[in-house]
Structure 1
């Protein structure tokens, strides 16, 4: 029937069997040099065929690194030669690695840090699945693969279900196919009434196994309730904080009302928990005499901000068709907003929450002034934005278009009403979109678009120079028109779809948004959600500066404590890796990175500070810029050589001079990235 060497669809060469099941087999196939997986269904039971077809349909629609890829023609029916027998086939991406059940047979139960990282990955996958109105129904360790690069992949979508009105009706009569895995299935799913939150129950049970090394059925369960006794499983996972175990217990709540209502709610809690977990040990591990000063300087500033993170409100204003939805997707780094091609997208005012890795941004989208001639609609747009009390306005226009009279009238009125109601100025960023369509039609980024450039573009020698000259001319024209009404401008291209990615200058826009947000709580919320390199570097630099302050406190003690300084440096590396969003195993990440740098033991107080700052800079280049080890080592050496003499001289002059130099570094970071400074200008330490 299926055998090695068989050619299917004149494309897939069968290589070897992988595993056999009750209803069919799995084979490895070759598709033009790429190894893939072929799932073959032999038993034509209607319910089994339905699940098989559903898996093919769902996987062909979903696009996520944590979901196996299936092409639109990946499902086909093969007729066995010489018979009328039909065999259902599905070809999908081959996911290398092992499933988490197999992985745990060879490893110890996971740490809190690993649990948070894996939970964030899996919940992000579920957010994508649920956003498409599907839910998995069969989450368990054996259905979660771990790639060699650390990426988790959710597999076996045969049990997936779509949320439809028909499905809701079927729930009332239990006329659905029941999927059951002992120890992992939610009580409502056991009754044939699964919903998206049923996936959270199974996810919580899966992490009980990963954190304890024991199946959920090994722990005491309250009779007839499906509730694991919290104390019974927590005793087997002493490495966990109460906050994390509380979250896992909430995921496993038998009562739907007590479970988190959506994936984004879980991601947000995990994001806060992750950062707090990274910062807290760095403070608590300091010697008692230094804790007060360190907490005064760092914990009060950063921990307070994390506790008070709020969702930034960003108003998007522009005529329909200016690319506002594409801009949202470009900022988030994920295709979350629907982009209209054959019709205009924004026809009504709306406010939407978007999530990325648990962080939230509220984009307030409004109809453009010229989308209607009605003065009533004009005033409604102003009232809507003002009443939403937004933090910043992105005024989006194509770089080569103008509607100056209506735009200027609108901006003047909006800024006036906003100031009258909220007693504060509304920051406005002019977003000059669609620079890619400026003639000539070539697209060879990066471009020199600075209006201060000394290059003479009047006689361009190449197509690229001609395009640069024309874009700069458009930028200057728009700035002349909007003079006095905007705080800054950013020329961009936000085009990004399944076939084409011409995003350009989005990181510069994100950094400007970050800098113009009115408070640190909003900046922190935006910093976690925006997917751009410059912003990550700004936040990582802030942590580097904070780590240098901690190292300074550590070297103040009469007996120099090398281990304390090394601990601070390791914590810094882990935090920067976390900001970068790396999937690398974090248990030995800092040690391996420091080994790559070939750092030598810190000798002397000045070396402690220069090495800490150099490590932070190198970590930014490695984890965020993703530079090669050779270049990162060079960065580390150059930074240390630059800073060492400065700190040697400062230590010889006394502690006040060190304090002054660290403040100067803080000012440098503030000027470079616009991030808030660590220290308080009015605060002096009498101990100096």
Structure 2
């Protein structure tokens, strides 16, 4: 049996160890399922513990923030518990089964767009809570095995809390400086929302190339990284988005995650077809850049989905003209044609009936007129016939009288 922490969590494996933090995989012995959890053990940098009370207060505050955002986003690990034991600080978090971006190897352009879009939605929520991650890098993004979605872990503010004596953790900039993911202003102690976007842009470049930022040369004229030479076939919208995200001058970058998200998608209008997926495939290596270009439906910022309200894949929706067109537009057109045809047929039938009725009425009038004419002719004939008889009778009578 492994070591028991807080009388509840049994250590199963050591995951990582640093100057101020150790990470363990453990099982919760007080749960019927003995579910796996991640334990992060943090030690203050102040070895004399002169500011222990201050660190305790800051730690409790940061833990409350982690609890809040973990409850409202499925792509941030849930915080189950936090406590202090023997002047050590512990966070008990959800175990995310999967691999980090640093472990999965180079990904293709389509997969990159999927992950980037999803992470930008997560950052939109985090930033809306006035929280800055401060430590985005490939090692802190886990691609969850069950659905392929990226999960953002290890918020830098907790580590900075352990370095409260210096107001800014000595470890966080040191770790980032080694690989170059830290924004210039963050190195100077000024952290803004676009600092996260800068680190995210470099993280996605790493995922596409397998190279850390310091492995790229700098443009001698602008000082910017010449990373795009390694990706000659990168789609223009993705390239433009990443280029702007990693500008050295913060004012030249995207100011918000929403702005960066819109830039990535508005510059590449496309029709969502039957290939549209809700989440990335479980095996991203099976995707082929040249033949597969999925679109991801991303949940609203911070929204948790349950089995009852989980969204379904979208198909047949056309945004190619910049606006929504109903998915059954062709069927609607057919219905309209059928209705028009039916109306024309009805009009034709009614017209035919009217014409036939008119003809029948005309025939009746003609017959009546013809009959009247025949009567008149007969009368005239009778009159003509009677007149000579009367004349002859008069002549005969005259002869007799004489």
Q: TM-score range by the shorter chain?
A: 0.5 to 0.7
| 2:97 alignment counterpart | 96
CA distance in 1, matches of 2:117, 2:207: 15
Asked if the contact 1:136–1:199 (Cα under 8 Å) also holds between the matched residues in 2, the reply is yes
Asked if the contact 1:17–1:26 (Cα under 8 Å) also holds between the matched residues in 2, the reply is yes
CA distance in 1, matches of 2:334, 2:91: 55
Which residue of 229, 238, 241 maps to 2:232? 238
How high is the TM-score relative to the length of structure 2?
A: 0.61
CA distance in 2, matches of 1:56, 1:37: 14
| 1:26 alignment counterpart | 23
Asked if the contact 2:237–2:268 (Cα under 8 Å) also holds between the matched residues in 1, the reply is no
Shift of 1:210: 1.3
CA distance in 2, matches of 1:146, 1:155: 11
- Confirm whether residue 583 of structure 1 aligns to residue 280 of structure 2: yes
- Confirm whether residue 120 of structure 1 aligns to residue 127 of structure 2: no
- Confirm whether residue 668 of structure 1 aligns to residue 369 of structure 2: no
Asked if the contact 1:26–1:38 (Cα under 8 Å) also holds between the matched residues in 2, the reply is yes
| 1:599 alignment counterpart | none
Asked if the contact 2:79–2:94 (Cα under 8 Å) also holds between the matched residues in 1, the reply is yes
After superposition, what is the alpha-carbon deviation per residue over 1:438-471, rounded to whole angstroms, capped at 9, x for unaligned?
A: xxxxxxxxxxxxxxxxxxxxxxxxxxxxxxxxxx
Higher relative contact order (CA 8 A, sep 6+): 2
SS in 2 for 1:200: helix
Go from structure 1 to structure 2 and tell me whether the alpha carbon gap of 1:186 and 1:241 turns closer, same or farther (over 3 Å shift).
same
How high is the TM-score relative to the length of structure 1?
A: 0.37
Which residue of 267, 273, 288 maps to 2:261? 267
SS in 2 for 1:134: coil
- Confirm whether residue 77 of structure 1 aligns to residue 80 of structure 2: no
Which residue of 102, 110, 130 maps to 1:133? 130
SS in 2 for 1:235: helix
- Confirm whether residue 255 of structure 1 aligns to residue 268 of structure 2: no
**What stretches of structure 2 of length at least 5 have no aligned partner?**
161-165, 289-309, 314-327, 337-402
Asked if the contact 1:136–1:161 (Cα under 8 Å) also holds between the matched residues in 2, the reply is no
Q: CA RMSD in A?
A: 3.4
**1:183-262 equivalences in 2 (<5 Å):** 183-222=180-219, 227-228=224-225, 232-262=226-256
| 1:111 alignment counterpart | 108
SS in 1 for 2:189: coil
| 1:56 alignment counterpart | 63
SS in 1 for 2:13: strand
CA distance in 1, matches of 2:96, 2:220: 39
After superposition, what is the alpha-carbon deviation per residue over 1:231-268, rounded to whole angstroms, capped at 9, x for unaligned?
A: x3111112312222111110001112111111111122
Shift of 1:15: 3.0
CA distance in 1, matches of 2:43, 2:37: 19
Shift of 1:121: 1.0
| 1:290 alignment counterpart | none
Larger Rg: 2
Go from structure 1 to structure 2 and tell me whether the alpha carbon gap of 1:41 and 1:160 turns closer, same or farther (over 3 Å shift).
closer
Asked if the contact 1:116–1:274 (Cα under 8 Å) also holds between the matched residues in 2, the reply is no
Asked if the contact 1:111–1:240 (Cα under 8 Å) also holds between the matched residues in 2, the reply is no
Go from structure 1 to structure 2 and tell me whether the alpha carbon gap of 1:101 and 1:52 turns closer, same or farther (over 3 Å shift).
farther
SS in 2 for 1:67: coil
CA distance in 1, matches of 2:79, 2:224: 37
After superposition, what is the alpha-carbon deviation per residue over 1:62-85, rounded to whole angstroms, capped at 9, x for unaligned?
A: 0212111103xx110123xxxxxx
Shift of 1:217: 0.9
Asked if the contact 2:59–2:158 (Cα under 8 Å) also holds between the matched residues in 1, the reply is no
Go from structure 1 to structure 2 and tell me whether the alpha carbon gap of 1:625 and 1:184 turns closer, same or farther (over 3 Å shift).
closer
Go from structure 1 to structure 2 and tell me whether the alpha carbon gap of 1:142 and 1:226 turns closer, same or farther (over 3 Å shift).
farther
CA distance in 1, matches of 2:221, 2:232: 27
Go from structure 1 to structure 2 and tell me whether the alpha carbon gap of 1:175 and 1:21 turns closer, same or farther (over 3 Å shift).
closer
Go from structure 1 to structure 2 and tell me whether the alpha carbon gap of 1:268 and 1:161 turns closer, same or farther (over 3 Å shift).
farther
SS in 1 for 2:41: strand
Asked if the contact 2:39–2:90 (Cα under 8 Å) also holds between the matched residues in 1, the reply is yes
| 2:143 alignment counterpart | 146
Asked if the contact 1:54–1:158 (Cα under 8 Å) also holds between the matched residues in 2, the reply is no
Go from structure 1 to structure 2 and tell me whether the alpha carbon gap of 1:122 and 1:13 turns closer, same or farther (over 3 Å shift).
same
Asked if the contact 2:186–2:195 (Cα under 8 Å) also holds between the matched residues in 1, the reply is yes
Go from structure 1 to structure 2 and tell me whether the alpha carbon gap of 1:24 and 1:582 turns closer, same or farther (over 3 Å shift).
closer
Go from structure 1 to structure 2 and tell me whether the alpha carbon gap of 1:220 and 1:78 turns closer, same or farther (over 3 Å shift).
same
**1:201-350 equivalences in 2 (<5 Å):** 201-222=198-219, 227-228=224-225, 232-273=226-267, 275-276=269-270, 279=271
CA distance in 2, matches of 1:54, 1:224: 45
Asked if the contact 2:134–2:156 (Cα under 8 Å) also holds between the matched residues in 1, the reply is no
Shift of 1:189: 0.7
SS in 1 for 2:123: helix
Shift of 1:196: 1.0
Asked if the contact 1:37–1:92 (Cα under 8 Å) also holds between the matched residues in 2, the reply is yes
SS in 2 for 1:137: coil
Go from structure 1 to structure 2 and tell me whether the alpha carbon gap of 1:625 and 1:26 turns closer, same or farther (over 3 Å shift).
closer
Shift of 1:269: 2.1
